[in-house]
Structures are given as C-alpha cells and as structure tokens.
Amino acid sequence: MTTVNPAGNSVGHPTPITNATRSQKPSGMPVHKYGGYEAVDIPDRTWPDNRITVAPRWLSTDLRDGNQALIDPMSPARKREMFDLLVKMGYKEIEVGFPSSGETDFAFVRSIIEEGAIPEDVTISVLTQAREELIERTVESLVGARRATVHLYNATAPTFRRVVFRGSREEVKQIAVDGTRLVMEYAEKILGPETVFGYQYSPEIFTDTELDFALEVCEAVCDVWQPEEGREIILNLPATVERSTPSTHADRFEWMSRHLTRREFVCLSVHPHNDRGTAVAAAELAVMAGADRVEGCLFGQGERTGNVDLVTLGMNLFSQGVDPQIDFSQIDEIRRTSEYCNQMEIHPRHPYAGDLVYTAFSGSHQDAIKKGFDAMERDAAARGKTVDDIEWAVPYLPIDPKDVGRSYEAVIRVNSQSGKGGIAYVLKNDHKLDLPRRMQIEFSRIIQARTDAEGGEITPAQIWSTFQDEYLPSPEGAANRWGRVQIRSGQTTTDTDAKDTLTVEATVDGVDTVLSGTGNGPISAFFDALQAIGIDARLLDYTEHTMSEGASAQAASYIECAIDGKVLWGIGIDANTTRASLKAVVSAVNRAAR
C-alpha cells in the first residue's frame, strides 16, 4: 500500500509524524507586528513551590470595572441588586463605582450609604483618576460611610506615558504622587471620624510597565501615604490588558513582593484581565507568588474579554478543600442575578455555573459517573457514614453538583453518544430501578435504536415511557396497550416434598383462564403452567431488590429467560416479592411474543 505522509512524500508504509516531518509552512498571518513579552530575571523564583491553603482577600469590581464595560450600564435598581448579592455571598470589599463619572454612580454610592445597605464589616471602594476635581467629588461621595477606600490610578506603561500623558517617567510618577496627596487632603477635609478610611493605588497596565519603574512609582506613593502598622496601603498591580503567560505574570509579582520596602504594610493586589483567556491561572499563580488580594468580577464580566472570574477562582479553591470564604451554594440564583444585572447570558460551558458543566452525554463518561456514585454509596456504607461525609470521588465531576445547589437530574443526559450506564443511571436515580448489567445492555439497545432514528436528546421522561412500554405494559405501564398474558391473582401451595403448586387466574389473548403448574419454587411452577398455553420458558438469571424502605416498600424483580429460543429480560414490581417475580416472568413472556 502506498500512502502520502504529512511531508507529502509517497511511502510504502505510513510514516509517523515527527518534528522533522511536520510542515513548517508560514501561515501568512502578520506575525511581524508583534513582539515577545519580556521575561523577568528571577532564576531563584519560589512561587512554583507554593500552595494556596487559605483564600486571598477578594474585591468584587462588578459595579465598577464590570459596569463600565456594559453596553447598557446598570440602572440604580440593577446596581443595588448586584450589591446586595455580593454582600449576601460574603464579599467584604466591593468597588461600588466611579462616582466622579456622573450622577448615576455618585447617587448610587450615596444611596447605599444613606440607606444603611453596607454591613459593618464591608468596605466599599471607589475609583478615581488623579485629577483634583475628580478626587474631590469622589471623596464627597463617601461622606458618612463606615469603611471606605479611595482607589486612585494612573497609567505608567511606556506607550501611555508617550501617547496619553505625553510626559516623562518623572512626570507620570508625579501624577501618582500628587494624586495620593490630594486624596489624603480631601479625605482629611471632607470625611468625619466615623469613616475608617483606606487607600489603594494602581499603576495601570502594570504588566506593560518596566518593573523598576512600577516599583519606583509604588514606592513614591508609599512615601506619601506612609503605610505602617494599622495603616495599610493596597498596591494593586493590574494586568489591564493580559499579554503574558501566567508564569511570567507570577514572576513579576514575586519580584515586586521582594522589592517593596514596606512589604509588611502593603496589601499586594492582583487585577487580571482575560485577553489571553488565562486570567484565572494568572490570578492563582500571582497568589502563589505573594498576592494577598484578588480583584475580579462574577463570571468574568468586565472590559473586553472580562476581568478574572471570581466564581471560578472561589470554586477552584473549594474543589481543593480550601474554604473560599464566599457562599456559592446557590450558584443558579447568583447566575440569574448576574444575568439580570449585566443583561448578558452566561455560557452553558462556563466553569461551575453553565447549564452543561455537570452533564455527560457520552457513554463512557456516564458509565464511570454511575459507577462512581455507586462506589460512593458503598464506601460510605462500609464506613458507617453518609455520602456527604466522605471525600468526593466521582469520575468526570470535579465537584458534587449538589454543593452548588444543582440536582443530579442533569448529570446524565442521553443521546446517540450515550451508553447503558447513562440510561441505567436515569432509571436508578429517577425510579429506583437498579437494572442487572445484561438487562442494561438490552434496554440501551432499544434506546439507541430510538436516538439513532430520531436524533437529538431523549429525556428522562421519554426513557421511562419507553421502559414502561417495553417491560411494564400492564398494569404498571403507562398504557395497557399490549401483552398476550396478564395475571390477575395467584396462589401457591407447598407440599411435603417441597414442591410448589401454583394456580394463576390469568387473561391469555383476551380470554380469562386458570393456569396451574408445579416446580421447585413459584417461578418454576409458573414456567410449568405456561407450557399449557404453548410457551416454553427457561430461567437464566434472577435478581431482586427493594425500591424503598418501610412497610409499604415495593420490590423489583428481574428475570432473564430463554423463551421459545429468545433470550430476554422481564421486570415485575410489587409489594410482594413472589408476585413481583411472577410479573417479571409475564413481562418477559409478553416481550417474547411482541
């Protein structure tokens, strides 16, 4: 056989792809327009060995960075709903707006202060440019607040120095220094003793600013603020536009953390955006590299591709056994509120919150999930505990969906990619029927035929009605549409040599009749009785289980038989196990004749 390998040569045998044979043709994309990102000279970096064992401080900037990126910024009512949600979830630092931007933000800040909506342990913060009239207005918005932080920013990156401020390094540093001084002066003048006042500074686009200059500006700002015991300064180092790998970002954090002279009085804060799609990793690695605090938005709202997603970050900690200090137990409610406030939908694959993130359609995933749930139950029982008390270990499910308020219903959804495990899961979960393995295979072929013919998803209700129609036509079935044999009542007697005699009142082909037979037990006696109506049945396998607890508990019996040369399963459900097994025989017999 002749094949063409990836390099385009005809060869006698397929050639494996190696770096040597891989095509290196230019793509034609204008790569010359972009330069590589500068590495940090920190060969003794320590962050890769660090582990996150406690949650960082969180700041939600949904009402500021998130809001400023919306097509339709939040109305006062939507802002208030978001604020109340953030408080309820447990955020203790909330950036509530840019009060000097206009009346809407100013009035909102005033409203939450005047209406007493801010719990005592929550600090609000407000953002301002380093311009005197804006700083004054910003501080005015905070009058009467119990705990408030002014957050001042100016861009420090070279392009901004050249293009926006048209100034030297010294001049740009001076903007930060003067801004800090003005914030302190206006806070002193305008705010009363009831306000615990804090200060935050951000060298905007920290990630594009030369490290030595970012440090120089931060140090100059600290010289003005004079951080000390009980007087922290928050230095927030934003990846305003994400351009580096998370590892380089972490290097920059470790470098800054090592070089800041008053590090113990500095709260080092990270503010990643998601332009490369790696904001979550950037935040996590920055925390490993020394960041004390993370700024972001719920579900990654925010400028362009968004701020870092606070939900994913918090849930990532949770899934590692670290308390995020935030309550995500009603994730769908959080999601609905966020969608309402931002007027934007959350993607079905959004980590932890999307509609499909705890759902498996594919057979091998479903099989493993079902086995995982079964193993959890067995392990818990063996240790005398409940499933909720042992370590979560269900394949393909990073967390227990119940922990975020989801039910198990959507965990397994069935389509043409599904296998027996998923279908068995639906029957067990929704109907307490634990089908024997070979019966699972039999029933999954029936479902598979339907999904192949009709395409799309088959719902749990459709699976159940197919199951009823196939195995339970009467009387448990949805419709008494078919079934050659129906039993109405039966009696067994056991004689002295342990032979059972069974007498059954039945309807066969629409005619009422009495069937009678003997055997080693009721099932074999019933097989014997069926001979009278020309049915030759032989038992191959039998299992049963109870479906619930208590006096009125139902039992399910499963019977595999060879009937007139066909091997098939039947099921019977009844409070009495003998009746359940007779019904299972009827189920199989009727299927054979169908």
Ligand X SMILES: CC(C)C(=O)C(=O)O
Select 219 or 303, whichever has its Cβ closest to ligand X.
303
Query: Count of CB atoms within 10 A of residue 433's CB?
Result: 20
Rounded CA-CA distance 352/398 in Å is: 9
Residues 211-250 that bind ligand ACO (CB under 6 A): 240
By a kind-dependent CB cut-off of 5 to 8 A, residue 175 interacts, out of ligand X, ligand ACO, none, with ligand ACO
Rounded CA-CA distance 269/84 in Å is: 24
By a kind-dependent CB cut-off of 5 to 8 A, residue 101 interacts, out of ligand X, ligand ACO, none, with ligand ACO
Q: Which stretch binds ligand X (CB under 6 A): 51-59, 85-93, 233-241, 584-592?
A: 233-241
Q: How far apart are the first and last CA of the chain?
A: 50
Count of residues that bind ligand ACO according to CB under 6 A: 16
Q: How far is the CB of 127 from ligand ACO (least distance, A)?
A: 6
Select 174 or 462, whichever has its Cβ closest to ligand ACO.
174
By a kind-dependent CB cut-off of 5 to 8 A, residue 141 interacts, out of ligand X, ligand ACO, none, with none
What angle (nearest 5°) sits at the alpha carbon of residue 537, between those of residues 535 and 543?
140
Select 100 or 236, whichever has its Cβ closest to ligand X.
236
Q: How far is the CB of 342 from ligand X (least distance, A)?
A: 17
Place of tokens 């719990």: 119
For residue 153, state whether it binds ligand ACO (rule: CB under 6 A). yes
For residue 528, state whether it binds ligand X (rule: CB under 6 A). no
By a kind-dependent CB cut-off of 5 to 8 A, residue 462 interacts, out of ligand ACO, ligand X, none, with none
For residue 139, state whether it binds ligand ACO (rule: CB under 6 A). no
Select 305 or 516, whichever has its Cβ closest to ligand X.
305
Query: Count of CB atoms within 10 A of residue 260's CB?
Result: 20
Rounded CA-CA distance 202/295 in Å is: 12
Q: How far is the CB of 452 from ligand ACO (least distance, A)?
A: 52
Burial (0-12, 13-18, 19+ Cβ within 10 Å), 408:
middle
Select 207 or 257, whichever has its Cβ closest to ligand ACO.
207
Q: What is the total residue count of the chain?
A: 594
For residue 153, state whether it binds ligand X (rule: CB under 6 A). yes
Select 238 or 572, whichever has its Cβ closest to ligand X.
238
Q: How far is the CB of 461 from ligand X (least distance, A)?
A: 48
Q: How far is the CB of 269 from ligand X (least distance, A)?
A: 9
Cβ-based neighbours of 380, under 8 Å, separated by 6 or more: 386, 387, 389, 390
Rounded CA-CA distance 85/330 in Å is: 11
For residue 163, state whether it binds ligand ACO (rule: CB under 6 A). no
Judged by CB under 6 A, which of 130, 224, 233, 270 binds ligand ACO?
130
Is-contact 304 377, C-beta < 8 A? no
Residues 263-282 that bind ligand X (CB under 6 A): 271, 273
Rounded CA-CA distance 239/206 in Å is: 6
Judged by CB under 6 A, which of 240, 301, 366, 581 binds ligand X?
240
What's the Cα-to-Cα distance from 202 to each of 108, 205, 222, 581, rounded to whole Å? Answer: 23, 9, 12, 74
Q: How far is the CB of 241 from ligand ACO (least distance, A)?
A: 9
For residue 238, state whether it binds ligand X (rule: CB under 6 A). yes
Residues 78-117 that bind ligand ACO (CB under 6 A): 98, 100-101
Rounded CA-CA distance 169/99 in Å is: 28
Residues 204-223 that bind ligand X (CB under 6 A): 204
| Backbone region of residue 313 per phi and psi (left: phi > 0; alpha: psi in -120 to 50; beta: other values) | alpha
Is-contact 298 310, C-beta < 8 A? yes
Select 238 or 401, whichever has its Cβ closest to ligand X.
238
Is-contact 515 530, C-beta < 8 A? yes
For residue 156, state whether it binds ligand ACO (rule: CB under 6 A). no
Structure tokens at 527: 């097989």
Q: How far is the CB of 308 from ligand X (least distance, A)?
A: 10
Per-residue 3-state assignment (H helix, E strand, C coil) for 396-442: CCCCCHHHHCCCCHHHECECCCCCHHHHHHHHHHHHCCCCCHHHHHH
Nearest to 500 by CA among 508, 491, 512, 492: 492
Count of residues that bind ligand X according to CB under 6 A: 10
For residue 236, state whether it binds ligand X (rule: CB under 6 A). yes
What binding mask, one character per residue, do residues 38-67 give for ligand X by CB under 6 A, x or -?
Answer: ---------------------------x--
Structure tokens at 554: 């139902």
Is-contact 312 343, C-beta < 8 A? no
Rounded CA-CA distance 562/553 in Å is: 30
Residues 165-184 that bind ligand ACO (CB under 6 A): 165, 175
Q: Which stretch binds ligand X (CB under 6 A): 8-16, 29-37, 84-92, 236-244?
A: 236-244
For residue 68, state whether it binds ligand ACO (rule: CB under 6 A). yes
Rounded CA-CA distance 190/167 in Å is: 31
Select 202 or 244, whichever has its Cβ closest to ligand X.
202
DSSP string, 316-332: HHHTTT---SS--TTHH
Nearest to 66 by CA among 295, 385, 294: 295
Judged by CB under 6 A, which of 125, 138, 141, 154 binds ligand ACO?
154
What residue is closest to ligand ACO based on CB? 101
Select 200 or 359, whichever has its Cβ closest to ligand X.
200
For residue 134, state whether it binds ligand ACO (rule: CB under 6 A). yes
Nearest to 326 by CA among 309, 307, 311, 341: 311
For residue 129, state whether it binds ligand ACO (rule: CB under 6 A). yes
Q: Which residues bind ligand X (CB under 6 A)?
A: 65, 127, 153, 202, 204, 236, 238, 240, 271, 273
Site of interaction with ligand ACO (CB under 6 A): 65, 68, 98, 100-101, 129-131, 134, 153-154, 164-165, 175, 204, 240
